[in-house]
Homo-oligomer: A and B are copies of this chain.
Amino acid sequence: MSKRHVSLKTLAQTLNVSISTVSRALRNHPDISAELTQKVQELAQELKYSPNPLAIGLLKDQSNTIGVIVPDLVTYFFSSIISGIESVANEHGYYIVIRCSYESAEKEKECLDNLLKLRVAGVIMCLAQETQDYSHFSNLIEEQVPLVFFDRVCRSEEVSTVVVNNQEAARQITRHFFESGYRRIAHIAGPAQLNITQERIQGYQQGLAECGLPFDDSLLVHCDLSIPSATEATQQLLALPSRPDAIFGVNDTTAFAAMKEIKRQGLRIPADIGLVGFTDEFHATVVEPTLTSVMHPTYEMGREAGLLFLKQINPQVEVAPQQTVLTTQLVVRESSVK
């Protein structure tokens, strides 16, 4: 096995001074003579000394790691958000420890417990879609452990959050469909309890109302964000006696699954069915027809979550939880213009 790292003790013994002197010299403490300070720093560099974060963490009872919990590690949406978090963390000397809840409430709780046992400085997370009980966050909130939710949020009076303007985006999509001549506009929504689902449904309904279209609840179906589920939802819509002529998917993955199913049934996009997604990943420009989608600033969402987190980490003043709303932008492509 490898021998231990070089420590202050190593430096101190080599130079025949005390550990505390070495510690001070490295931090340029005025108590230490310039001469000795230089000698210490040179030796430290030569021996590649680096302070042991475990010891520092132990002393201060906090580490320089941020726990990150996502429902899914694989999709572009989350990986690009993680990328944003990582970049901010990196810039500020933090490290991110990632765990995946696999959309399970139970696993989410387990991840949270584990990360806290690891003594992370706090947690940045997106709720699992299963999660309906939010009581496991009470401890964190009471003990003021830094906590940030992104995209799927809860208890936002007590916790800082980053979301996008879901309602407005959904409203724009609906109006865009209307303006393109679509009249029976369906929505494949996410799990009902999620804020993103609710807000997008509201925007959808608002858009319908503004366009003078009735809300037909057979045109509103839910899915669990998985591909099979999205496919099934699409089948359900296409099997309606009075078929929709446009579908708004809760995200791009859902829209891609819908696209696949629509084509499989021999229907044409956008002629027979208009289609719009949400996220605007690269593949939206590759599929045929290219997919109209709402540009979700995922990377920025990650960065913003990281920044909100850092605000809580060293509160100069008592900071109140802060709600950031990022704006999206509708990117119109072929799939929604007849």
Contacts and interface: CB of A to CB of B under 8 A. Distances in A.
Interface residues of A, number: 55
Interface string A246-265: 00000001001101100100
B283 A286 contact: yes
Contacts of A79: 73-76, 78-79
Interface stretch (A49-57, A167-175, A192-200, A237-245): A49-57
Interface of A: 1-5, 50, 52-55, 57-58, 61, 63-65, 73-76, 78-80, 82-83, 86-87, 90, 95-100, 114-115, 117-119, 143-145, 227, 253, 256-257, 259-260, 263, 282-283, 285-288
B83 A73 contact: yes
Q: How many copies does the complex hold?
A: 2
Given A74-B76, A83-B73, A53 B119 contact: yes
Given A53-B118, A53-B119, A64-B118, 11 more contacts: A1-B144, A4-B61, A52-B58, A54-B57, A65-B65, A73-B82, A73-B86, A86-B98, A96-B97, A97-B97, A260-B286
Residue with the highest number of chain B CB atoms closer than 10 Å, among A82, A98, A227, A263: A98
Residue among A53, A90, A283 facing the most chain B CB atoms (10 A cut-off): A283
A118 B51 CA distance: 9
A145 B4 CA distance: 12
A55 B118 CA distance: 11
List the 7 closest pairs (A to B, CB-CB), nearest first: A288-B288, A2-B143, A79-B79, A73-B83, A50-B117, A54-B58, A256-B286
A283 B253 CA distance: 9
